[in-house]
Structure 1
Amino acid sequence: MLQELTIKNFAIISSLHLSFTNGMTALTGETGAGKSIIIDAVSLLAGARSSIEYIRQGSDKCLVEGLFDLPEQQAFYLLMEELGIEVDEAELIVQRDLNISGKSISRVNGRIVTLANLRRIGQFLVDIQGQNDHQELMHPESHLRLLDSFGDTAFQKIKATYQTAYKSYVSLANQVKKFKRNEQSFAQRIDMLTFQQEEISNAGLVIGEEEKLVEEREKLTNYQKIVDSLSYSYQAMTSEETSALDAIGSASQELQTIASLDKEYETISDNVHSAYYLLQDAVSEIGRQLDLLELDEERLDLVNERLELIHQLKRKYGDSIEVILDYYNQISQELLDSDFSGDKLEKLEQELATKVAKLQKLAEKLQIARKKMAKKLEAAIQAELKGLYMENARFEVTFKTISFEGEGIDEVEFYITTNPGEPLKPLVKVASGGEISRVMLALKTIFSKTQGLTSIVFDEVDTGVSGRVAQAIADKIYQIGQNSQALCITHLPQVAAKADHQLFIRKEVIAGRTVTKVEELAEGERTKEIARMLAGTEITDLSVEHAKELLQLAKK
């Protein structure tokens, strides 16, 4: 139930705070006073799309906030848990903010939610029926959904079981189709991956080997240069005629004779002495390297071939050995996971046949449940239509069996006849606008008893009717208000008189700006307002008496 509504800078509403109660509340006032604006604000709280046109002229943003009682449906609490919204209190606060840039922010109990999720929440909070919402009945494709709305918890479980099985069936059916469609390309890919796997595997790549091979190739291709350089260096330092090593050794001995005379001489002597022993080590290493050197042209060819193989694999599979080996692991896993074979297709088709058989049984069970429910709905609709002065009407839910779909194997359409002796025909072809409105009202009356709807808003659904039909509509909306909160915008005095509460909406001009004002009418004020609705601009004594009579009859 909607307890409170706060609106700021919305259309011609500067600031408004309304409190609502149980039962039926009528919203009355002159055309253009802002009655529908209030309903637009409530629609925003239920997830309707916003527009910057809603923002009051001269304002940067508008705000709509509603305080609701928590719905009783278990599905609502599951949704709150899914969205991570706390509902510890007994109330729910829904807020919409819209700024001039077009950005809209939705909050539920202080938590920001997407518009799609706000709509999911809103369906538990308020059901808004406008002048054109009866058009839903004019589309046969919506009749199945309306019928299913009549279902109890047991029915919803049957439907949910079918839909779960249907999703599994669709998934497997798509898998079989894809398997057949891609049979050839799949086999070609397996062949390609197998070839690539063997090619990389046969190469026997080792991480780091490319760098070592490049280094080895450099040595092998520069063999003569290395030999010449080492030989020259060795000769320069060990030649009997010009031995650099002997010369440095003699210098070292000579310097040692004066090292004790001065600290600086001692440092020079130590450095030369150290250099002499380092050069001795270098000469030994040069000699060892010369002994090891051997030109191996066959090895050079092998190294070049190996590097060329690595180059070819890098060009195909990646820019390094690490990347190539990663790719090898990926395709090896894909080949391991792929079990393409004729046997696989046969197994999938057998599994699909099993699912089809199971789905058929579930669909038939759902159809039986629907047909039982349809009989109950037919009886309930006809009973409600009698109270709406369509006592000769016969209402029937017709079924047509179709192939599997998400909702089952049923195609449903409502049939009706409003005149005795006339055959049943599709509702969309034979019912007048007033009859369609009354059928929708009958549905809402029934659903308010079975669905536990929190609030139902009727936006001038009584347009185009009068007399006893108007009174019957008033009675039905009042009846709905006994099970759910009913808010009703109306221009009919019969409907306004029937309400438990009446809010009067009017426009005023303050400081050159039009603003909307709302006040709850006491009994005496209600009499005047209903008299105005009866008589128009000039209220007469007769209209006042008629208004009093309407209110007295409503009390009875």
Structure 2
Amino acid sequence: MLTELSIRDFAIIDRISITFKEGLTVLTGETGAGKSIIIDAIQLLAGGRGSVEFVRHGTKKAEIEGLFTIDPDHPIYKTGAEFGVDIDEDGMVVLQRTITHQGKSICRVNGKLVTLGIMKEFGRTLIDIHSQHETQSLMDPERHIELLDVFSSSDLKPSLEEYRRVYDKYRSLVKRYKELSENEQEMAQRLDLLEFQLRELQEAELQPLEDEQLEEERSKLMNYEKIYQGIHDAYYSLYGEQRGLDWLSHAMTSLESTADVDEQLAKLSEELSNSYYLIEEMTFQLSNQMAELEFDPERLNSIESRLDELNRLKKKYGAKVDDMLQYASKIEEEIDEIRNKDSHLNKMENEIHELAQDAVLEAKTMHDIRTHTAATLSDYIHEELRGLYLEKASFAVDIQMKEGRSSDPALDGKPVQLLPNGFDIVKFLITTNPGEPLKELHKVASGGEMSRIMLALKRIFSRHQGVTSVIFDEVDTGVSGRVAQAIAEKIHGISEGSQVLCISHLPQVAAMADTHVRIEKRVDNERTQTAAAELNDEEKADEISRMITGAELTETTVEHAKELLVMAGKHKNK
């Protein structure tokens, strides 16, 4: 959930900090007080498009910061791993967005600078914003298949994962097949280039780890004097009369004479003897190394020349010799593939056919699961629509197989086009008037009906999408009476599974709030500012009363407001 929101120098907001709680938070206030500006700020945290118009007049930058708390199994952990953003086990994510007066946008996730596109990936797992003008994925036919799959995730997930694995291999092989078969001239040029590269690498007679071994040997030769002097000094400090080993031998003999009278000294004597023989062995090794050391300027020149050649090849074929050897092996396979193109094409045709048939079978399994799930989803949606007084509305999920070309794989003799999610085209259809045909969502319904349809869909999908915070910006526009009460109950129902922030002008929605925040516009020092205050029970009743009358408080409207609060409390308790 969104726990803390801090906004500075954004539009008419000077500085504001709002603490949000679980459940349903309703934001109310006069038109123009800045309610939607707060939602705009949250939308920027979710990766929305910024503008210099958001920067408060006379300031250099607008700053927005949001603190989110998340569950251990939230999908944002996967997003963080994908983009290299650390998310601690304490379950806290901080999104930051800065827009300068010059139009520069700076995005951070947990303190790490990210692109706007990456911030949008994080935002989509945390925030879902719905307004009277923008209903995002629910109204977008391109996203309906994703929503249906989210609804049936537990049944569909294994088949979808297997399908995508096969589909990716299939698409990759089809692409390679086209490259091999379509352009003879390009293939001939490619073959010449690869043969030249392979010849150059083979003539270099590369050896595994050769560069590392040569660099180590060069370092020794270049530091010959330093190495020799170090070994020499160490050796003659240990070996010889009145040197280290001589004194250690004297100490060892002295302790041995006490070993039979003191058990503790006996142990020390044994440890000293072991140390003496170890150091003596080191002395022999130092002597051997000193004897073997030899400075060979010709060998150094040879190493320098070889490393120069390797560095020249590294610029073209890899950062290390092992990388170049791997590249040589790779292009050798590609050369063989091009030279024996016809046999490879035949082999690839068989592989493509097998992969295509495997993909079709998985896609058919997904099609069957989706068809079954669509019926269940329709039943759920109809139930929600009845609760919103759209009893005569009819909802359906239309699932059609994407027709393919003759060269595409076939199912039951009919070619189908394989897509990233199978071969299904999914559309949500609805009609609100009996006798009228089903049509796509965005082509049907008035503003008030659309708000209710969207809420019905959101009520279902919010349970499955895993979004941390759902935000409604005046989605209740154009409704009143019993429909307004139904909408209020549906919005609160969504808050049972996700935190909900809602801007509303409906007293029924405000009465249903678990937390009620009033947004006010003030003028201080001839500058307009926005402030936010959480209301207590008495202040809630007064605010709802103003929403009812739109004017001064009266005893009647206050009593009505209190009655709405009592009714809302009873509904929550149920």
TMscore range, shorter length: 0.7 to 0.9
Bigger shift: 174-183 or 360-369? 174-183
Q: CA deviation at 1:427?
A: 3.5
Q: Once the two structures are superposed, what CA deviation does each residue of 1:313-367 show, in whole Å capped at 9, x if it has no partner? A: xxxxxxxxx99xx99x999995774123311111111111111111111111111
AA aligned opposite 1:14: D
Aligned partner of 2:473 among 459, 475, 478: 459
AA aligned opposite 1:134: T
AA aligned opposite 2:451: S
1:13-412 alignment, distance < 5 Å: 13-82=13-82, 83-134=84-135, 136-183=137-184, 185-187=186-188, 190=191, 337-339=334-336, 340=338, 341=340, 342-402=342-402, 403-412=417-426
Alpha-carbon separation, structure 2, partners of 1:333 and 1:164: 23
AA aligned opposite 1:179: L
Q: CA deviation at 1:21?
A: 0.8
Q: Once the two structures are superposed, what CA deviation does each residue of 1:365-391 show, in whole Å capped at 9, x if it has no partner? A: 111121122122111111111111112
What's 1:516 paired with?
530
Tell me whether 1:449 sits opposite 2:467 in the alignment. Answer: no
Pick closer, same or farther for the CA change 1:343–1:536 going to 2, 3 Å. Answer: same
Alpha-carbon separation, structure 2, partners of 1:332 and 1:548: 80
TM-score normalised by the chain length of structure 1: 0.72
1:71–1:454: 8 Å Cα contact kept in structure 2? no
SS at match of 1:50: coil
Aligned partner of 1:489 among 487, 503, 507: 503
2:67–2:94: 8 Å Cα contact kept in structure 1? yes
AA aligned opposite 2:168: K
1:92–1:109: 8 Å Cα contact kept in structure 2? yes
Pick closer, same or farther for the CA change 1:437–1:160 going to 2, 3 Å. Answer: farther
Q: CA deviation at 1:192?
A: 9.3
1:80–1:87: 8 Å Cα contact kept in structure 2? no
Bigger shift: 109-118 or 495-504? 109-118
Alpha-carbon separation, structure 2, partners of 1:131 and 1:79: 30
AA aligned opposite 1:443: L
Alpha-carbon separation, structure 1, partners of 2:120 and 2:442: 28
Pick closer, same or farther for the CA change 1:545–1:85 going to 2, 3 Å. Answer: same
Q: Once the two structures are superposed, what CA deviation does each residue of 1:148-172 show, in whole Å capped at 9, x if it has no partner? A: 2323244233223222222211111
Q: CA deviation at 1:437?
A: 2.0
2:541–2:561: 8 Å Cα contact kept in structure 1? yes
Alpha-carbon separation, structure 2, partners of 1:485 and 1:166: 37
Pick closer, same or farther for the CA change 1:65–1:74 going to 2, 3 Å. Answer: closer
Tell me whether 1:534 sits opposite 2:548 in the alignment. Answer: yes
Q: CA deviation at 1:434?
A: 2.4
Alpha-carbon separation, structure 1, partners of 2:80 and 2:176: 34
Alpha-carbon separation, structure 1, partners of 2:328 and 2:23: 68
Q: Once the two structures are superposed, what CA deviation does each residue of 1:150-197 show, in whole Å capped at 9, x if it has no partner? A: 232442332232222222111111111221112354247657988x89
1:435-446 alignment, distance < 5 Å: 435-446=449-460
Alpha-carbon separation, structure 2, partners of 1:143 and 1:523: 41
AA aligned opposite 2:526: G
Pick closer, same or farther for the CA change 1:96–1:549 going to 2, 3 Å. Answer: same
1:137–1:436: 8 Å Cα contact kept in structure 2? no
Q: CA deviation at 1:139?
A: 4.0
Q: Once the two structures are superposed, what CA deviation does each residue of 1:39-69 show, in whole Å capped at 9, x if it has no partner? A: 1111122121222221111111221111111
1:4–1:68: 8 Å Cα contact kept in structure 2? yes
Pick closer, same or farther for the CA change 1:532–1:190 going to 2, 3 Å. Answer: closer
1:63–1:98: 8 Å Cα contact kept in structure 2? yes
Tell me whether 1:473 sits opposite 2:526 in the alignment. Answer: no
Pick closer, same or farther for the CA change 1:28–1:165 going to 2, 3 Å. Answer: same
Q: Once the two structures are superposed, what CA deviation does each residue of 1:125-148 show, in whole Å capped at 9, x if it has no partner? A: 111111122375554333223222
Alpha-carbon separation, structure 2, partners of 1:36 and 1:161: 43
1:502–1:526: 8 Å Cα contact kept in structure 2? yes
AA aligned opposite 2:463: K
TM-score normalised by the chain length of structure 2: 0.70
SS at match of 1:102: coil
Pick closer, same or farther for the CA change 1:343–1:517 going to 2, 3 Å. Answer: same
Q: CA deviation at 1:79?
A: 1.9
State percent identity of aligned pairs. Answer: 47
Considering only CA atoms, is the larger Rg found in Structure 1 or Structure 2?
Answer: 1
Q: CA deviation at 1:37?
A: 0.8
What's 2:9 paired with?
9
Bigger shift: 109-118 or 510-519? 109-118
Paired residues, number = 436
Bigger shift: 402-411 or 133-142? 133-142
Give unmatched runs, 5+ long, in structure 1: 205-321
Alpha-carbon separation, structure 2, partners of 1:106 and 1:554: 40
SS at match of 1:48: coil
Bigger shift: 546-555 or 184-193? 184-193
The CA RMSD measured in Å over matched residues stands at: 3.1
2:138–2:457: 8 Å Cα contact kept in structure 1? no
Q: CA deviation at 1:511?
A: 0.5
1:72–1:452: 8 Å Cα contact kept in structure 2? no
SS at match of 2:531: strand
